[in-house]
């Protein structure tokens, strides 16, 4: 069912105006939005793929890095998640939502690390 929804979303994105084609930020945003819909449908691998693509297209897009970090976290890829959060904060240090996500991530990551070191 989630997959069908994603196909419908892909169809909607096919109608994105051609003016966006040359603007890397707009292209990256498109990937970010598609990634959000994938994540909301529980398709986290697809979401991660979209956000990876977004940061490739537009590497200074902090929101894309934030979302990518969340996808990595959901997949248990803590090291990559940490790097992505740090990149997001480096690009937008005043963003409280990114900061909050990072703090929550750190709490779990530290707990997992402590257990591992024990």
Partner 1 sequence: MTARSAATIASFVLICGTAACTNFYEIPIETPIQPKMDVSAFQRVLIAGFIGGGTDDVDANLETVRLLRSQLRSKSNLRIIEAEVLPLANIAAGQANRDRIAPVPPLNGAADGQQSAPEVEKESRIRNEKDLEKLQGIFADVAFWKKLGEEYQNPLIVTGTVLFTPQQTAGFVMQEREIYDQFGRRRVVPTRTYMERKGFVLSPKFIFIDGRTGTILYTEKFQEGVLYSAQTNTPALSSYFELMDKLVPSFLNTLSTQKVKGTRVLLK
User: Could you list the residues that contact partner 1 (CB under 8 A)?
Assistant: 1, 4-5, 8-9, 12, 29, 32-33, 36-37, 39-40, 62-63, 66-67, 70, 73-76, 95, 97-98, 100-101, 104-105, 108, 111-112, 115-116, 118
Return d(Cα 69, Cα 64) in angstroms, integer: 9
3-state secondary structure of 73: helix
Q: What's the min distance (Å) between Cβ of 18 and partner 1?
A: 20
Q: Which residues contact 42 (CB under 8 A, 6 or more apart)?
A: 2
* CB nearer to partner 1: pick between 40 and 56: 40
* 3 vs 56 by CB, closer to partner 1: 3
Between CA 60 and CA 38 the distance in angstroms is: 22
Nearer to partner 1, 94 or 115 (CB): 115
């Amino acid at each position: 069912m989630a997959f069908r929804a994603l196909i419908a979303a892909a169809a909607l994105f096919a109608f994105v105006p051609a003016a966006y084609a040359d603007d890397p930020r707009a292209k990256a945003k498109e990937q970010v939005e598609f990634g959000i819909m994938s994540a909301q449908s529980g398709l986290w691998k697809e979401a991660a793929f979209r956000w990876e693509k977004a940061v490739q297209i537009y590497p200074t897009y902090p929101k894309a890095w934030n979302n990518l970090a969340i996808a990595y976290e959901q997949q248990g890829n803590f090291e990559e998640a940490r790097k992505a959060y740090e990149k997001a904060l480096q690009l937008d240090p005043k963003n409280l939502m990114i900061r909050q996500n990072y703090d929550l991530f750190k709490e779990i990551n530290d707990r997992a690390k402590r257990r591992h070191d024990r």
